[in-house]
A and B are shown apart, each in its own frame.
Chain A
Amino acid sequence: SQKIEQNSEALNIQEGKTATLTCNYTNYSPAYLQWYRQDPGRGPVFLLLIRENEKEKRKERLKVTFDTTLKQSLFHITASQPADSATYLCALRLNRDDKIIFGKGTRLHILP
């Protein structure tokens, strides 16, 4: 069956350290993968997109990697801050499909 898996446990990281979140998928052939941030009581907000033929993408303190052989994406926040505390969702758009499938999200807590 098709699955998208993100760390189900909350992730606690000390302020200033790098937070790394994982998104694994099985039995999908994604055209691209996106990462979103969601704060409590709010809708998700887009952060980064990486295409199937790209290995890495950066935006300020954010970095995303995409390994289609391992079927995995890693999302890094460097120099983390308490304001980075949120739930982070990965989403796949499948080849030849109009739908985007979301993972369940990982809650990140940056501890001051």
Chain B
Amino acid sequence: NAGVTQTPKFRVLKTGQSMTLLCAQDMNHEYMYWYRQDPGMGLRLIHYSVGEGTTAKGEVPDGYNVSRLKKQNFLLGLESAAPSQTSVYFCASSYSRRSYNEQFFGPGTRLTVL
């Protein structure tokens, strides 16, 4: 049982390049989330999904897109990376909203945009 995994662990991009971050969970969780964490800013929600085929915007969605084609995977895309997107990205999952459930976090992806 691997929990929540994220790929890649580190990435350096040039301004304008695109990339996709992959999050996978093997706990059959309905809910999945993408956060970014910056010094002094805490964890901020980018997008989230309440089930396969659904996505919704969080606090800071601009510049990012997401897809949840399979229940176990949640992809975060950057179409045209900007230096302001330099951050550590965390994916999380939880069973559902109806129960009082904890979020399980992945190990993070450290992204630098030059």
Chain A: residues with CB nearer than 8 A to chain B? 32, 34, 36, 41-46, 49, 51, 89, 91, 93, 98-105
Contact = CB atoms under 8 A, between A and B. Distances in A.
A38 to B, nearest CB: 9
B108 A42 contact: yes
A91 B46 CA distance: 15
SS class, residues of chain A in contact with chain B: strand
A49 B102 contact: yes
Interface in B24-58: 31, 33, 35, 40-45, 48, 50, 56, 58
B42 A98 contact: no
B73 interface: no
Given A98-B50, A104-B40, A46 B102 contact: yes
Contacts of A104: 40-42
A103 B104 contact: no
